[in-house]
Amino acid sequence: MQRTDDTPEARDALDGEASQDTPSCELDLDQFLPYRLNRLAERTSEAMFARYGERFAINVAEWRLLAWLSRGVPMTAREISLRTHMDKVRVSRAVKSLESRELILRRPSEQDQRAQLLVLTAEGEAMLAELIPEARRFEDELLGAVNARQYRDLLLTMQALERQLDQLPGGD
């Protein structure tokens, strides 16, 4: 499917009528999906951390790292970098910060002695026991704007876009 502003859905999504005189070299960011997705993600992260970032003294990178480790599976910093799409430097800083606060620890991998696995400490698990329910409440509040069908459709659409990105050059 190609994007077109001439579908009923696109017309409904537009604020007012699209100008026919707009040169094709101009880009309306409010109608550009990559921009809108990024803006929504940034606003969501900012709103979440306005609520509890200061209380738990963590930033977005640290939260993402802790969230992946909350699954109970030790991971390397490289694996976290790949799964979160955060650069290695950002992950490294998060690891150092969380390690200095004794929320995570490193241990050698049994399969590869060069690799260091990251795991939650008891203190990290205790923090997440408070943080995760708050994050879920935030998600519930945010999702109060949509019904169950819209939520399901949103997740299905996101999965389709992620699969499409896997097929595009540079989309990995």
Q: Residue 65: left if φ>0, alpha if ψ -120 to 50, beta else—which one?
A: alpha
Domains in the chain, ordered, with CATH?
31-167 (1.10.10.10)
User: Which whole-number Å values give the CA distances from 171 to 65, 141, 154, 161, 163, in the listed order?
Assistant: 22, 31, 20, 10, 9
**Nearest C-alpha neighbor of 56 from the set 124, 137, 121:** 124
Give the pLDDT of the chain (172 residues) as one tens digit per residue. Answer: 665 555 445 555 555 544 455 567 899 999 999 999 999 999 999 999 888 888 999 999 999 999 999 999 999 999 999 999 999 999 999 999 999 999 999 999 888 888 899 999 999 999 999 999 999 999 999 999 999 999 999 999 999 999 999 999 987 6
Among all chains, which residue has been given the structure tokens 């050698």?
Answer: 108
